[in-house]
Amino acid sequence: MFPFVLRRLGLMLLTAFVLTFAVFCLTNLQPNLEKLARSEGSVRMSDDAIASWIVNNGHGGSMLNRYGEWLGVVPGWVRTDDKGVTRGRCIADGSDPAQAATYCGILQGNWGFSTFAKVPVTTVLGRSLGHTGWLMLAVMLVMVPTSLFLGVLSGMREGSRTDRVLSTLAIVTTATPEYVSGVIFVALLASATVGVSPHLNEWGWISDKTLFQGTATSAMDDITWRNFTLPVMTIALYGIGYIARMTRASMTEVMTQQYIRTARLKGVSFRQVVMKHALRNALIAPFTVIMLQFPWLLNGVVIVETLFNYKGFGWTLVQAAGNNDINLLLACSVVAVFVVLVTQLISDVGYVFLNPRIRLA
Amino acid sequence: MDALSWGSILAHSVARFLPVWIAMAVTFALSVRYKRRLGLYGKLYDSPVGMVGFGIVLFWICTAIFADLIITQDPLKVLSGMKNALPGSPAKGVAEDAYQYYLLGGDNGARDVFSRMVMGAREVLIIAPAATLFAFMVGITLGLPAGYFGGRLDTVLSFIANLVLAFPVILLFYLLVTPEIVQIGIPTYMAAVLFLFPILFVVVLFNSRYFMVPARRNLYVGIVLVIGFWAYAGLAFDADPTGLWHMDPNLLNVFVSVVFVNSPGVFRIVRGMVMDIKARDYVAAGQTRGEGPWYIMLWEILPNARGPLIVDFCLRIGYTTILLGTLGFFGLGVSPESPNWGSTINAGRKLLNLFPHPALVPAFALMLLVLGLNLLADGLREESLKD
């Protein structure tokens, strides 16, 4: 078990380095830097001025070197200009260059400054990850129990009417991406002019104009049913269908096993067979699937946060990319890649841990 | 002139789709008549789920083909006074002989929602299957040797595939589909690599088949190489002298990114299946007969892996459709003018509370197409398992 985990960890680290390097290259392309020079310096800079701005602000030199600086394994750049002012990657404005650290990359906890939000990247990232954390928690609480329940229910008796109905529903939800279901939900449940809200209001069932709110901006301060239901539903819906299908497949496979038949022939009730014998074996595969859903959830988060204007991680990523905020986009990418790799590791290790038939030396 | 009621909107819309209904009726009648001779496709008509799925997919394919006949207005034309017009509104200021209504209303740019939805179908049905096909070519060409030979080749290729799969798709799109990337020419380099695989695949396919008949082999491989590199020059480098093969730089960017995202998934499936199939007796028999490794891979293993691959192909077209919609939704790589479903949904969501129709129409269209593909895949899986 231990060498297996160690090997996986090593592979994960290698993957993380390659991926962050790729992201670094793609965000630090020459046109991006020129755009940055124009937005940070002046719009009317000549081409020569742009070129010298890029070099003077530490964006010159080889990509590998800059990546090392950003990572914190290569000494940060230091440059003294004609007026004798020394500036550098690790030197804060107005501080003494002599006392500055040599290395200041993300390994030292220096994630840089966000040019879009005008605050350090860690501040933006911490705030937005907090918001997204609540969203993910709510999604998980809704999605995992619902999908496992529906999957077990339809896989219990393969081919029954319940199975047919639930499987069709699962196919429908997997065919509905977040930007489609979100739009439909808002039009149906959160519009004052169409959908169900005007009728409910007319009948006096709801005091507000709409049943739910079409934006989740207020949920950043105070989460309520009205402002948080639709975003959570929108993300959860896609995952529910997918995980339910996987659970169903796993459950139907388990239900055809010899030991289930033996248990039935022994006279154990169907209920007992499902609860005691089948369920535990059937839930091993969905565990992996749930863990591997995280990358896709990340997708859903970006779409839903944009759709409902909820300023979490996804919203920040979109803003960072749209505003050419290199440091922030890099930080977002590191977080995203980290989440994906860690969930992959957990799913691999967890699978081995849960499944007694797999023994790794 | 009065606005249409909901009933007559429905009747008018159904009537506009007349060419589609005719084409579908003919296809279904012929297919049901000869279904015993049509292999897996014929068996589809034994499964209700598969038939419904195929029906929906066929509907959209026919819509894409006959889009010019179906549309009621020019999808890009702006009519003054039709901004956010409700469904069934009479079109103001159109010629006498032109269509007199905005069947499903007007969008925020005063364009016809119905016609834009129909043209959007054409756009997505050209790109999605083509991109999926390219992804399959790349995935198969790399997955076959990785699974068959194993060893270091497999380790390296699997590592690269896992790298791409570890990227959250949306992040990859935000990094890969930008004007800066187009400016620096990365899509061209990616196309130069990715577009080689289809040529490579077909060349190896014919070469291994007709290796013993050099005359035919040379003829087929020659034809493939000429046509292949002609298309390759046009698509990847925009250097086709006749101008037949051409791709807009932004479209190339989107296309290449979608192929790039999809290929590792195909690679993993093909690799897994090859590893399973290569232990079978008929592969051992082929090896004993002295067949070359590529002949075994392409003509012994691949045909036996076709069932799951066809199912995955259907699912993946649906997935690609969703991806293209996502790109449009975030406004990546599409012009705001284009009737792309994703960007239309994005444009319509700002006024969703007041005028939901411009966003809902493409949303339902996209959902229906993906649903059809998923149902079709489900039906195919069911029928192919019966063998």
- Distance from the A13 Cα atom to the nearest Cα atom in chain B, whole angstroms: 12
pLDDT above 90 covers a percentage of chain A that reads 18
Q: Assess B318–A contact: CB distance below 8 Å, yes or no.
A: yes
pLDDT score recorded for residue A104: 80
Q: B371 to chain A: which residues are within 8 Å by CB?
A: 171-172, 175-176
Q: Decide if B166 and A194 are in contact by the 8 Å CB cutoff.
A: no
Q: Decide if A31 and B352 are in contact by the 8 Å CB cutoff.
A: no
Q: Assess B17–A contact: CB distance below 8 Å, yes or no.
A: no
Is the pLDDT at A345 greater than 60, yes or no?
yes
Tokens standing for residue B201: 């695949």
ipTM above 0.90, yes or no: no
Q: Assess B97–A contact: CB distance below 8 Å, yes or no.
A: no
| pLDDT, tens digit (0-9, with 9 covering 90-100), for B159-191 | 999 888 888 888 889 888 888 888 888 889 999
Q: Decide if B371 and A175 are in contact by the 8 Å CB cutoff.
A: yes
pLDDT score recorded for residue B139: 95
Indicate the pLDDT class of residue A361, thresholds 50, 70 and 90. very low
Is the pLDDT at B62 greater than 90, yes or no?
yes
Indicate the pLDDT class of residue A356, thresholds 50, 70 and 90. low
Q: Which of residues 159-178 of B touch A (CB under 8 A)?
A: 159, 162-163, 166-171, 174-176, 178
pLDDT score recorded for residue A360: 52
The number of C-beta contacts closer than 8 angstroms across A and B is 128
pLDDT (average), residues A165-184: 90
Q: B170 to chain A: which residues are within 8 Å by CB?
A: 298-299, 302-303, 317
Q: A186 to chain B: which residues are within 8 Å by CB?
A: 349, 352-353
Quick check: A245 and A158 in contact, CB under 8 A? no
Q: What is the pTM of this model?
A: 0.90
- The three state secondary structure string of chain A is CHHHHHHHHHHHHHHHHHHHHHHHHHHCCHHHHHHHHHHHCCCCCCHHHHHHHHHHCCCCCCHHHHHHHHHCCCCCCEEECCCCCEEECCECCCCCHHHCCCCCCHHHCCCCECCCCCCEHHHHHHHHHHHHHHHHHHHHHHHHHHHHHHHHHHHHCCCCHHHHHHHHHHHHHHCCCHHHHHHHHHHHHCCCCCCCHHHHHHHCCCCCCCCCCCCCHHHHCCCCHHHHHHHHHHHHHHHHHHHHHHHHHHHHHHHCCHHHHHHHHHCCCHHHHHHHHHHHHHCHHHHHHHHHCHHHHHHHHHHHHHHCCCCCHHHHHHHHHHCCCHHHHHHHHHHHHHHHHHHHHHHHHHHHHHCCCCCCC
- Distance from the A262 Cα atom to the nearest Cα atom in chain B, whole angstroms: 27
- Distance from the B181 Cα atom to the nearest Cα atom in chain A, whole angstroms: 8
Indicate the pLDDT class of residue A359, thresholds 50, 70 and 90. low
Question: Residue B90: phi, psi to the nearest 5?
Answer: -70, 140
Question: Where would I find the H helices in chain B?
Answer: 6-16, 18-33, 39-43, 48-65, 67-70, 113-149, 151-165, 169-176, 179-184, 186-194, 196-209, 214-237, 249-277, 281-289, 293-295, 302-304, 306-329, 341-348, 357-385
Is the pLDDT at A73 greater than 50, yes or no?
yes
